[in-house]
Structure 1
Amino acid sequence: MILNVVADARYLREKARADYLDAERGLFERWGPTAGRNLTDDDRRLLAVQGKAVGWKRLTKIAHIATAQTIRRWHRKLIGITRAKSGGKPQTSPVVEALVVKLAVENSYGNDSWGRRRIAGALLALGHDLDAGTVRNILRRHGIPPAPNRGRGRDNDLQMAVETLADIAIDFAQTVVIDAGRICRLYILLAIHIQTREAVLVGITEHPTEAWMLQCARNLTMAEVGFLQLTKAASIQMDHDAIFTAHFRKTLADAGLDVRFTPRRQPWKNGHIERFIQTLKNLVLHKFIFLGENAVREAISIGIRHYNQERPHQSLDNRPPKPPSGSAPDLSKPIIRIDRLDGAIHHYVRAA
């Protein structure tokens, strides 16, 4: 028992040291050798939080950008201070502030890190209406850096707003699996209803032959159960990939759909499905090494169900496309975390 406690303490010390050095390395990569003269307050908060976790005495041996004494002063000034208790916007309760930090820390997986808007959406589902700016300020106070890739180099919705959008968009994702000792690539056909953002898995195969594509078209247009019939879609768009054969397009057209192509070499023109595929990769495909097609199918099905029923969407006022029916969350109930795919996806609800 004592050995386990000692080992855990040593692990935490080494982890804190590695986290601090990673933070310094990121700042040197951004600013170069002049990093110490170009730090923002957010950078100083980050170093202060990581430095405190290391311990001020041990920090003197590894700090390079600034001395341990300077970093400790930053901690007192930028994190240790309290806000005024009167005037201005009401102070966020410590319970809600702790919840913001919890959501940010527990959901920091690479490109799937939760940013301020994603956290605000999760809070809304739990009965706390915080704007993204408040979430950002809380994260800053606690020295939590922004989520990676939060900024958008191209605003797909804005560029497509001047055009007439199709009802449905389709495209392929790909993933590599190990099946019976061999490495193979699977092709995953996905569809999304642009207005509601509801998404479905159309099919998965190692060999997307024309016969397989025709079967996918029939499944999409099947009376009463096909996705295109359920959504009452009148049009569908896709890119110029040769995999969308003439027979595939004809099957869709024969079902009464207006089949459209996006411009060549302009994937942002099909931005909704492209963004969904990236989300699915971050949620599921990049987190596992799959052993066979069935494992991929099960993981994607769980990921899409989370996407449709639980994940807040900024374009839908932080509501999921198909939220489960029920009353507003009871703020007196405790918050519980539901793990999907063995903890790869987190969802938070109020206890029943």
Structure 2
Amino acid sequence: MIRPRTVTDGQVTEVVRATLETRPKSATRWSARSTAAHAGSSQTTVSKICRAFGLKPHRSESWFTTAFDAVFADNGTAAIPTPPQSPRTNAFAERWIRTARTECTDRLLITGERHVRTVLTTYAEHYNAGWPHRSLDLRAPDDDPNGVPLPAATVGRKQVLGGLLNEYHAMSPRVPHHPQETSSSAA
């Protein structure tokens, strides 16, 4: 026997709207308890509605809350949220940040905002032009995709960020320099 529905459409609408469109006043994200108090429902009802609609308010990314948006706006930085249900987008960003930290900023003593901007700009240029990527068959993103790498007899090294990073590139083979021998007429 099927039990009659006890949750009204208004309750469902309020829980879904509150979870997706608003933030609680005294917290950074909704919990079952705070949503239930806001919607006038029980915690069990809120949990059932969230489960039915696939809502996970307790797992929303709250590292940077809406309070930070104002800080970013004052700084002139646009906050661009990652699209929902796209874990790869976030993975690419996290991978770049981890690489920049481990390869660059963790090894330097940053002295200010201007210094960190200079270091990260230089590192981004190195990452896109001089760093081989496995997914690109050991080419840098800025490399010509139609170019054929030739074996080099000599490898050149360019130091980046004062020797913290090294970029290697193929150089044309050097022609050995032999002074021409003069023939002597004394013999």
TM-score band, normalised by shorter chain = 0.3 to 0.5
Superposition TM-score, scaled by structure 2 size: 0.46
The structure that is strand-richer by fraction is: 1
